[in-house]
């Protein structure tokens, strides 16, 4: 079955949909049992799509979990109230005091903060590594290194990692590999096919796709699914059935939305590439993006999110650009239907293994608007930028 077809047919077992196309929104805290035998059956099968207790999920959750498990080619999917929770709780499900973890230097900022502000107090030490380190990762591995955490492409600077090389080395040292796959979204990149043990996503972004739900997912391979599921349950992680329903509805149209985001973003990036104020484009599909060769080798496509670097910059120029934008709104949570813009004079404060000695970094999320309107907005914005240099 082709992946577009799989996204349409997954999560639609009869017991979830009751004769209509979408699953019923089943709300529950308490599940009631008619007999001791029924209750014992539920206890025994509670990890296996059997109603047991609201926190373990209802048929709406099971339908969504089935679809995401198939999307990521895994053994099972745990649900969290947002992407940040999916990341932190997945790490917590596998570390103990005294462990050491390796975290990619371009990780999403709250992922770094979790390591620096919470793991550190649990006596779990973090070492940040260059996303392009490749086989050099071996030098950073210690006897107590438990987790190798990847994000590819990474936040803001967009470096793409050599995942098979990294997972091979990590597994030789009995480590567990996790990857924040929010950009690759399971449609264009399936980390478990490249040796990753757990793929994590902010479903808030392209899966939900409409900027109206916070949601996180983590899909584990066979070896790690039991521990991920049970520890996430013990940590109290669960989501509302309404959010599971909306996310499953968003997933159905994700491939066609992605196609349009990708087409629009490539047009905008090509236009920017030739703009005299722009130093280079950080879009994984462009040669100027570090790790582009791994994108070409491992991904089947891109989406609407990319960055670009300015030749000259100052805060007044950035403010003039951002303040007057018409279609590009300033906002952080990308992956919806709308275009967004953010900009930073430097990202040096977010990099400890690599640093940043280049100009201002502007990140765009290219939405589903008409491309001419977007280009006009950017053209006027860059004229305002130039006037303040």
Supply the residues annotated as catalytic.
Answer: 55, 108, 180, 205
* Residue 182 interacting with ligand PLP (CB under 6 A): yes
Least Cβ distance, residue 200 to ligand PLP (angstroms): 8
What number of chain residues touch ligand PLP (CB under 6 A)? 13
- φ, ψ dihedrals at 35, nearest 5°: -155, 165
* Residue 180 interacting with ligand PLP (CB under 6 A): yes
Nearer to ligand PLP by Cβ, of 320 and 350: the residue is 350
Tell me the CA end-to-end span of the chain in Å, nearest whole number: 54
Window 258 to 287, contacts with ligand PLP (CB under 6 A): none
How far CA 184 is from CA of 181, 191, 304, 370, in Å, comes to 5, 9, 11, 24
Least Cβ distance, residue 46 to ligand PLP (angstroms): 27
Q: 87, 91, 72: which is closest to 219 by C-alpha?
A: 72
The interface region with ligand PLP, picked from 11-19, 63-71, 77-85, 159-167 by CB under 6 A, is: 77-85
Strand pairing class (198-202; 176-180): parallel
Report CA torsion sign: 346, 347, 352, 353.
negative
Q: 344-356 burial, b for 16+ CB within 10 Å, e for fewer?
A: beebeebbeebeb
* Residue 320 interacting with ligand PLP (CB under 6 A): no
Nearer to ligand PLP by Cβ, of 83 and 169: the residue is 83
> Tell me, what DSSP letter sits at residue 208?
T
How far CA 135 is from CA of 138, 159, 163, 166, 205, in Å, comes to 6, 16, 10, 7, 31
> Tell me, what DSSP letter sits at residue 192?
G
* Residue 84 interacting with ligand PLP (CB under 6 A): yes
Nearer to ligand PLP by Cβ, of 26 and 204: the residue is 204
Distance CA 168, CA 182 (A): 22
* Residue 340 interacting with ligand PLP (CB under 6 A): no
The interface region with ligand PLP, picked from 79-87, 113-121, 126-134, 159-167 by CB under 6 A, is: 79-87
* Residue 108 interacting with ligand PLP (CB under 6 A): yes
Nearer to ligand PLP by Cβ, of 16 and 108: the residue is 108
Least Cβ distance, residue 48 to ligand PLP (angstroms): 27
The interface region with ligand PLP, picked from 28-36, 80-88, 161-169, 339-347 by CB under 6 A, is: 80-88
Which residues of the chain form contacts with ligand PLP (CB under 6 A)? Answer: 82-84, 108, 155, 180, 182, 202, 204, 214, 216, 332-333
């Amino acid at each position: 079955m082709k992946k577009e077809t799989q996204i349409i047919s997954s999560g639609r077992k009869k017991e979830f949909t009751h004769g209509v196309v979408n699953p019923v929104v089943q709300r529950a805290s308490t599940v009631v049992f008619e007999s001791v035998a029924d209750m014992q059956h539920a206890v025994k099968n509670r990890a296996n799509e059997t109603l047991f207790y609201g926190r373990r999920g209802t048929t709406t959750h099971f339908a969504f979990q089935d679809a995401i498990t198939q999307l990521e080619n895994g053994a099972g999917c745990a649900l969290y109230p947002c992407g940040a929770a999916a990341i932190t709780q997945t790490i917590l499900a596998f570390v103990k005091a005294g462990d050491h973890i390796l975290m990619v230097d371009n990780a999403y900022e709250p992922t770094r903060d979790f390591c620096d502000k919470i793991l550190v107090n649990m006596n779990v030490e973090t070492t940040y590594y260059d996303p392009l380190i490749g086989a050099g990762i071996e030098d950073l591995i210690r006897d107590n290194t438990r987790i190798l955490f990847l994000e590819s492409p990474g936040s803001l600077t967009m470096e793409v990692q050599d995942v098979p090389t990294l997972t091979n080395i990590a597994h030789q040292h009995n480590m567990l590999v996790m990857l924040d796959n929010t950009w690759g979204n399971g449609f264009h990149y399936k980390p478990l096919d490249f040796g990753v043990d757990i793929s994590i996503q902010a479903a808030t972004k392209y899966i939900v796709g409409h900027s109206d739900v916070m949601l996180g997912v983590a899909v584990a391979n066979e070896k790690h699914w039991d521990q991920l599921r049970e520890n996430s349950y013990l940590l109290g992680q669960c989501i509302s059935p309404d959010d599971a329903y909306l996310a499953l509805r968003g997933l159905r149209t994700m491939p066609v939305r992605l196609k349009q985001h990708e087409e629009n973003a490539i047009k905008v990036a090509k236009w920017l590439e030739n703009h005299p104020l722009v130093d280079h484009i950080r879009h994984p599909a462009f040669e100027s993006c570090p790790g582009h060769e791994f994108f070409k080798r491992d991904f089947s496509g891109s989406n609407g999110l990319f960055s670009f670097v300015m030749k000259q910059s100052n805060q007044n120029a950035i403010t003039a650009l951002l303040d007057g934008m018409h279609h590009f709104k300033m906002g952080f949570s990308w992956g919806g239907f709308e275009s967004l813009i953010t900009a930073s004079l430097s990202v040096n404060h977010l990099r400890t293994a690599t640093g940043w000695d280049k100009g201002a970094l502007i990140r765009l999320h290219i939405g589903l608007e008409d491309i001419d309107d977007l280009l006009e907005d950017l053209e006027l914005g860059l004229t305002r930028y130039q006037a303040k240099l």
